[in-house]
Structure 1
Amino acid sequence: MDVELPAELLEFLGQLDAFIDKEIKPLEQENDNIRFFDHRREHSRTDWDNQGLPTHEWEELMYEAKCRADKAGFYRYALPKEYGGRQGSNLDGAVIREHLASKGLGLHHDLQNEHSVVGNHVNAQLLLQYGTPEQQEKLFDSILLGKRTLAVAITEPNHGSDATHMETTAVREGNDWIINGEKTWNSEVHLSDYNMVFARTSGKNGDAEGITAFLVPMNSEGAKIEEYLWTFNMPTSHAHTSFTNVRVSDKDIIGEEGQGLRIAQHFFNENRLRQAANSLGAGVYCINESVKYALERKPFGKPLASNQAIQFPLVELQTQAEMLRAFIQKTAWLMDKYGAFSQSDKVSMCNFAANRFCCDAADRAIQVHGGIGYSRHKQFEHIYRHHRRYRITEGADEIQMRRVAGYMFGFMKQQAPKGM
């Protein structure tokens, strides 16, 4: 692996920065849109009287930013060229996400909503890889840049991290399937016409095989949004949903019958790495802002930066950032070279280490800034609250460590790299 980033990627970052300065930053300032990013952000984004969902104005603003990014040729970067993208690699994605997150909170890259001017097209890519031509034709355009999306329903109330003990079932009845069960943390379902629902169709509890992914129309009889779960960082889009005798057919299966967890694992592996890169970038922002403030702030007649009690914790965080950057980029490069499933242990390492790092960096930034750091007039509390979520979603810290241990001690087998 060449430790110098490709010249074309660095050129893309420069073009991206110019676009943000020209198109996105002015939009951020129009019509008091800055309220979505300053100390009023949580209140401005949240419709407290409508189940805590995002406000219409906030979602419209993100949609406008995505449309501008798409028109300028940035939004589809990761997609294949035939779909208007640039065939962006995992390494590209890791570098871009760190770069954008290190700029701090803004309309260019808002992690609470997984919004970015360079889209994280996980669901669209899954649809392209596993969906039938009919499913792709029906859904691809709307979930890529429409105002609708495709929700994913994996997690269950009684089985958070263990998807193999899935209580949601789908039973064949002629050419149809009857789905019964409940899901939680069913994110973005308020914007979704279809839900990718994972259900056991064969096998027994604990089996990785025998789980199938279905495209379920949310207007189906028996499909219901029970409630939205209010969270540490509001607004919420995380629903508790139920499915009672919901009827679907064979044509609604995504991928192969009984192989749904392969789709889920594909989703998790790539998203965990992008999540790590986002956490690295946000942590770097916290460090940079703390260094800047420590040089400016002069209590007792001298800069805070002259105190080793300020310097040393930030030095340790900066050291972690450098090591994480090298590890994340190496892991992304190896995934590009040998396949997404060839580096599962390293992806898990990157994920839990970067997410912890970000929370530590935000906490240290609050401490360095003192009272103003604790206030909502700085971004650190928002960064902490969001990235604290990353230590649970896509697999908690403990699940990531358990996976690494599984490979270390031989309880799990890693997919062999392609061509070896």
Structure 2
Amino acid sequence: MDFDIPEDIRRTLNEIDAFVERELVPLEQAHPQYFDHRREFARTDWERDGIPSAGYEAVVREARDRCDRAGFLRMGLPRSVGGQEASNLAVVIIREHLSARGIGLQGNLHDEQSVVPSIPMVHLMEKFGSPEQKARYLEGLVTGDDFIAFALTEPDHGSDATWLETTAVRDGDHWILNGRKRFNSGVHKASADLVFARTSGQPGDADGITAFLVPMDTPGLKVEYYHWCFNMPSDHAEVSVNDMRVPHSAVVGRIGHGLDVAQNFVHQNRIRQAAQSVGVARYCVQESVKYARARKTFGRPIAQHQAIQFPIAEMHAEVEMLRSYVFKVANELDRKPAESVSDQVAIANFRANRLACNAADLAMQVHGGIGYTRGKPFEHIYRHFRRYRITEGSDEVQIRKIAAYLFGYAGPGKQPAAKKDTGA
């Protein structure tokens, strides 16, 4: 791989930087209540169970509209919605670059909005949606007029999705669903919920799970409450499904193959998440260097102390190595089938997410007491990126995938199962 960033991507980065300074920074400055050191209090509607405030989401929507008008929002999206189908490498380089700018509307941490966002539901709907579902939701998902929440996780089942307990039983040309969902993110603004339920098979079977696209006003679908998390505001709902009756036309993809729908775009999401983590780690290093050169104790800059130099230098080395690896894996995704490099994506994802947390923690330590306050962005960065070590596949899930490929239990090098010794 040529490790120089391609010239066309460099030009795009310059154009995006100019756009951010021209359009997004002034928008932030016009709404300081959402972007100062007490941001959670203005961003959160405490009277509505801690969901994002309407004013804050209106600013994010305005930023999204400006990104779309500038021609950046749809870069990584399918051509069917006016997208450019930019390469994974291009999107990853851009996302890392935007994240390295720090906190801002160019890469809004709370709702994953970015100048060049992923919007996985667009890809999912474009690949698995029926013509009617596409006509209803596809364009709205891009513009933000529609949002589809994702209801897979359950109170007793997170990573073990094949054991989910929500069921769907066929009743003529309808299905009746019952169950409960946890961390059903985004339902407060959703037009519909994508609910996964077992329609056949036994607990633990990969087959037999089906995805249903359900309008939020469907009788039997109820938001019970929102979980208040380490990072506020919250949009992570506990949702109950009680005798919910939906037409057969609500099925997304094939009956019994809902996990294919759930896993769509997972590799692209994970590598782009890794890029954001590496970018924010680079930002933390840059800010730590800047502060260490300016901050003086006992008459000289703390940058002259090895106790400060060495941990920052080590973190810088980690960032540089992992940044190159993330770019390399993105390039591999553009050249090879995703499953053939799934272990490399897992390596990039779990190591980058750890790196972001470690870099934010180091930046707090270098900045001392002021680094621990909300006057600096590091505690906010830590709280946000800490969840990435759980969502999109926890560290442990990623490491398990790596081990399976390494020992030949999965992937291109999968070994045939050993025959049992019968003693004959």
TM-score category by the smaller chain?
Answer: over 0.9
Q: Distance in 1 between matches of 2:245 and 2:80?
A: 34
Q: Distance in 1 between matches of 2:267 and 2:297?
A: 47
Aligned in 2, Cα 1:97/1:52: closer, same or farther, shift over 3 Å? same
Aligned mate of 1:407, from 405, 408, 413? 405
Q: Gapped runs of 5+ residues in structure 1?
A: none
Map Cα deviations across residues 348-394 of structure 1 (whole Å, 9 max, x no partner). 11111001001000000000000110100000000000001111111
Aligned to 2:211: 213
* Amino acid of the structure 2 residue aligned with 1:143: L
Q: Distance in 2 between matches of 1:311 and 1:351?
A: 27
Superposed, 1:131-170 pairs within 5 Å as 131-170=129-168
Aligned to 2:18: 18
* Structure 2 residue 98 is matched with structure 1 residue 100: yes
Aligned to 1:74: 72
* Amino acid of the structure 2 residue aligned with 1:187: S
Aligned to 1:4: 4
Map Cα deviations across residues 285-320 of structure 1 (whole Å, 9 max, x no partner). 100000000000111111111111111111111111
* Amino acid of the structure 1 residue aligned with 2:375: H
Q: Gapped runs of 5+ residues in structure 2?
A: 415-424
Aligned to 1:318: 316
Superposed, 1:22-61 pairs within 5 Å as 22-30=22-30, 33-61=31-59
How far has the Cα of 1:414 moved from its partner? Answer: 4.5
Confirm or deny: 8 A CA contact 1:342 1:415 kept in the other structure.
no
Aligned to 1:89: 87
Confirm or deny: 8 A CA contact 1:98 1:280 kept in the other structure.
yes
* Amino acid of the structure 1 residue aligned with 2:105: L
How far has the Cα of 1:38 moved from its partner? Answer: 1.7
Aligned mate of 1:302, from 278, 286, 300? 300
Q: Distance in 1 between matches of 2:368 and 2:145?
A: 41
Map Cα deviations across residues 260-283 of structure 1 (whole Å, 9 max, x no partner). 111222233221111111111111
Aligned to 2:109: 111
Confirm or deny: 8 A CA contact 2:101 2:283 kept in the other structure.
yes
Confirm or deny: 8 A CA contact 2:206 2:259 kept in the other structure.
yes
Confirm or deny: 8 A CA contact 1:79 1:87 kept in the other structure.
yes
Tell me the SS of whatever aligns to 1:109: coil
How far has the Cα of 1:144 moved from its partner? Answer: 1.3
How far has the Cα of 1:165 moved from its partner? Answer: 0.4
Superposed, 1:325-340 pairs within 5 Å as 325-340=323-338
Normalising by structure 2, we get a TM-score of 0.95
Aligned to 2:419: none
How far has the Cα of 1:138 moved from its partner? Answer: 0.4
Confirm or deny: 8 A CA contact 1:341 1:415 kept in the other structure.
no
Tell me the SS of whatever aligns to 2:182: strand
Confirm or deny: 8 A CA contact 1:211 1:260 kept in the other structure.
yes
Q: Distance in 2 between matches of 1:225 and 1:321?
A: 41
Tell me the SS of whatever aligns to 2:47: coil
Confirm or deny: 8 A CA contact 2:110 2:384 kept in the other structure.
yes
Q: Distance in 2 between matches of 1:244 and 1:336?
A: 43
Q: Distance in 2 between matches of 1:181 and 1:219?
A: 17
Q: Distance in 2 between matches of 1:363 and 1:377?
A: 15
How far has the Cα of 1:415 moved from its partner? Answer: 9.5
Aligned in 2, Cα 1:98/1:326: closer, same or farther, shift over 3 Å? same
User: What is the total number of aligned residue pairs between the two structures?
Assistant: 414
Superposed, 1:147-296 pairs within 5 Å as 147-296=145-294
How far has the Cα of 1:59 moved from its partner? Answer: 0.1
Q: Distance in 2 between matches of 1:147 and 1:373?
A: 38
Tell me the SS of whatever aligns to 2:265: helix
Q: Distance in 1 between matches of 2:356 and 2:373?
A: 18
How far has the Cα of 1:229 moved from its partner? Answer: 0.4
Q: Distance in 1 between matches of 2:248 and 2:271?
A: 33
Confirm or deny: 8 A CA contact 1:266 1:340 kept in the other structure.
no
Tell me the SS of whatever aligns to 2:48: coil
Tell me the SS of whatever aligns to 1:206: coil
Tell me the SS of whatever aligns to 1:111: coil
**Root mean square deviation, CA, Å:** 1.3
Superposed, 1:378-417 pairs within 5 Å as 378-414=376-412
Q: Distance in 2 between matches of 1:169 and 1:90?
A: 36
How far has the Cα of 1:215 moved from its partner? Answer: 0.3
* Amino acid of the structure 2 residue aligned with 1:26: P
Q: Distance in 2 between matches of 1:35 and 1:203?
A: 52
How far has the Cα of 1:26 moved from its partner? Answer: 0.9
* Amino acid of the structure 2 residue aligned with 1:178: I
Q: Distance in 1 between matches of 2:144 and 2:372?
A: 37
Map Cα deviations across residues 16-66 of structure 1 (whole Å, 9 max, x no partner). 011111111111111xx1221221111110111110010011000000011
Tell me the SS of whatever aligns to 2:276: helix
Q: Distance in 1 between matches of 2:33 and 2:364?
A: 21
Confirm or deny: 8 A CA contact 1:344 1:414 kept in the other structure.
no
* Amino acid of the structure 2 residue aligned with 1:285: Y
Tell me the SS of whatever aligns to 2:238: strand
Deviates more, 1:144-153 or 1:13-22: 144-153
